[in-house]
Amino acid sequence: MKHVGVLGYPIKHSISPLFQQAALDERGIDARYERFEVSDSELPAFLETVRNDEWLGVNITIPHKEAALTYMDQLSTEVRSIGALNTVVNDRSVLVGANTDIGGFLNALESQGHSVGGSRAVVLGSGGAARAVVAGLQDAEAEFVVVVSRTFGRAQALVTSLTRRGARPVVVAVDWDEAGLRTALRQATLLVNATPIGMRGGGAEGKSPVSTGMLHRELTVFDAVYNPTYTPLLRDAREAGATTISGLDMLVYQGAEAFELWTGVEAPIETMMAAAREALEGWKAHV
């Protein structure tokens, strides 16, 4: 039996084991996917273990997405350009760092019929999720991207580093104030929440990052928050007549891309999606 899993700290709320194991079982792959709580100091030794023949690879989550880069033998183009990885593949004892959040975001949108090319996008937040989202929007040739962050300097740094990556599209940072946000959203076709606002168990649970008056029917609204699946932002967006897409779709698509890198087998998306939905229902019942 092979091993695979997710490393993070803390890690007990990750639902990846539930939908990844469902996919391994569906495809008849003899492997077990588990959660591993790994501290900063334990990370190098753990990644050395992943080189062993019985390991397919691992997912990497907070807080190790940047620190893990140091221990890789090879990095994908995506990882080199955004400076963070979420997947490690053990390719015959060579550790390859990959980032499937970019593809996960794009596939989530495209699977719901939103064509990203030509989008006029507003992205809220400037952390890890925002970096993957902005890189994805660049790859898919959005018309322009406005990054809105409460820490303007962080948004500016994100824009500067990703602008070096490619000339298109235009990416700018603006302050998080009502007037600036309202103006940006009036012209936008896509709104992405890449902050934890609305996340169950977080400091802004039950809240939406924007006021309802800013939402309109020409918008597609994507919320990276996946727990709950139907966030206050998505609820307001639907009431405003906008198209809504849940972060759960991105979570499952990034997992599906990782599954394919580890196994070389097509991921069973429907099975993974159903298992992820069921896992979140179970999570709700336990808190």
The one catalytic residue in 2, 65, 207, 284 is 65
DSSP state of 15: -
Report the chain's C-alpha Rg in angstroms: 19
Closest CB 127 distance from ligand NAP, rounded Å: 2
* Binders of ligand NAP in range 233-272 (CB under 6 A): 247, 250-251, 254
- For 2, the 3-state DSSP assignment is strand
* Tokens describing residue 78: 């995506």
CA distances (Å), origin 106, targets 110, 185, 253:
6, 20, 9
Per the listing, tokens 């229902």 go with: 281
Closest to ligand NAP by CB, 55 vs 224, is 224
Q: Is the bond preceding 17 in cis, omega lying within 30 degrees of 0? A: no
Scan residues 44-103 and list those touching ligand NAP (CB under 6 A). 101
Residue 14 C-beta: closest distance to ligand NAP, Å = 10
276 DSSP β-pair partners? none
CB 9 within 8 A of CB 259: no
> With respect to ligand NAP, which residue has the nearer C-beta, 22 or 55?
22
Q: Let me know if 2 is a catalytic residue.
A: no
Could you tell me the smallest distance in angstroms from the CB atom of residue 151 to ligand NAP? 3
CB of 1 to ligand NAP, least distance (A): 27
Closer to ligand NAP at the Cβ: 83 or 127? 127
Stretch that binds ligand NAP, among 12-20, 69-77, 149-157, 228-236 (CB under 6 A): 149-157
How far apart are CB 207 and ligand NAP at their closest, in Å? Answer: 8
Phi first, then psi: give them for residue 5, nearest 5 degrees.
Answer: 180, -170
Q: What is the DSSP string of 24-80?
A: HHHTT--EEEEEEE--TTTHHHHHHHTTSTTEEEEEE-TT-TTGGGGG-SEE-HHHH
In the region spanning residues 106 to 135, those forming contacts with ligand NAP, defined by CB under 6 A, are 125-130
Residues in touch with ligand NAP (CB under 6 A)? 101, 104, 125-130, 149-151, 154, 194-197, 199, 204, 224-226, 247, 250-251, 254
Active site residues: 65
